[in-house]
């Protein structure tokens, strides 16, 4: 199975400041068609997850443009341009290029 | 409005079986491939199983931890996806979500305990 490793596992951020989460895969996520299926999800406390980003850098409908996904191969990053109060919760990366699909451990974001 | 509702969870003894259902509405269910994702209490997300739509053969994929014990299936006439869980283990205790990654239900809780 592809192992997804996120860092840091916990992040304390000042409102209005940027935040960055790293996600590394144990093997390349570029599939046979040359597409990289790397997703980012956000789970607020007590809620179901919500996908923010798909295929590395594409924002889902309604996702604010302060969320930016980037990366390639085995190294990926989710950046939050200026953290807002509603951004607290846990962020997960998930690879969709290999079976079985696998999630990272999650990164908990809190406000200082 | 797109909606999925998971049901069928409950308390079950180790080694027993349980069948979860995911009932969908508000979209053309036949077009979608569906996954089950679970979350143990206080833990992270774990991908469990996947079923393709019929256009792509309706074939299935499983996590290593549940392969040979869980079976995912679908009934497009009823817009339902099932997860048959056999030989349940304590470590299967979790909130089980039905999703295509853009929509998520509220989950159904499975507790495996003697």
Question: Which residues in B8-92 belong to E strands, given as ranges?
Answer: 10-12, 18-25, 34-39, 45-51, 60-62, 70-75, 80-85
Report in angstroms the alpha-carbon separations of B2 from A77, B44, B96: 30, 25, 19
| Most B CBs within 10 Å, among A39, A40, A44, A48, to test the B interface | A48
The pLDDT tens digits of the residues spanning A75-99 come to 999 999 999 999 999 999 999 999 9
pLDDT of residue B1: 86
Residue ranges for chain B with pLDDT beneath 70:
none
Chain A hits for B106, CB-CB cut-off 8 Å, are 48
How many angstroms separate the CA atoms of A97 and A99, rounded? 7
B105 contacts on A by Cβ (under 8 Å): 48
- Inform me whether the pLDDT recorded for A112 exceeds 90: yes
Write the pLDDT tens digit of every residue in A33-55.
999 999 999 999 999 999 999 99
pLDDT > 70 fraction of chain A, expressed in percent and rounded: 100
Radius of gyration of chain A (CA): 13
pLDDT for B9 equals 98
Q: Give the position of tokens 């299936």.
A: B73
What dihedral do alpha carbons A59, A63, A66, A72 form, nearest 10°? -20
């Amino acid at each position: 199975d592809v192992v997804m490793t996120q860092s840091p596992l916990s992040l304390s951020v000042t409102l209005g400041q940027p935040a960055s989460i790293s996600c590394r895969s144990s093997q390349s996520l570029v599939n046979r068609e040359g597409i990289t299926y790397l997703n980012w999800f956000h789970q607020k406390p007590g809620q179901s997850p919500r996908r923010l980003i798909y295929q590395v850098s594409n924002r889902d409908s309604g996702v604010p443009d302060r969320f930016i996904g980037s990366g390639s191969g085995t190294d990926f990053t989710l950046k939050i341009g200026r953290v807002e109060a509603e951004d607290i919760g846990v962020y997960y990366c998930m690879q969709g290029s290999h079976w079985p699909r696998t999630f990272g451990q999650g990164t908990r974001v809190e406000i200082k | 409005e797109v909606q999925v509702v998971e049901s069928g969870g409950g308390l079950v003894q180790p080694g027993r079986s349980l069948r979860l259902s995911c009932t969908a509405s508000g979209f053309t269910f036949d077009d979608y491939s569906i996954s089950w994702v679970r979350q143990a209490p206080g833990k992270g997300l774990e991908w469990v199983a996947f079923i393709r739509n019929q256009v792509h053969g309706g074939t299935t994929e499983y996590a290593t931890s549940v392969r040979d014990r869980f079976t995912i299936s679908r009934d497009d006439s009823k817009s339902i996806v099932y997860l048959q869980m056999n030989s349940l283990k304590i470590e299967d205790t979790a909130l089980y979500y039905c999703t295509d990654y853009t929509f998520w239900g509220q989950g159904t809780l499975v507790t495996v305990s003697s």
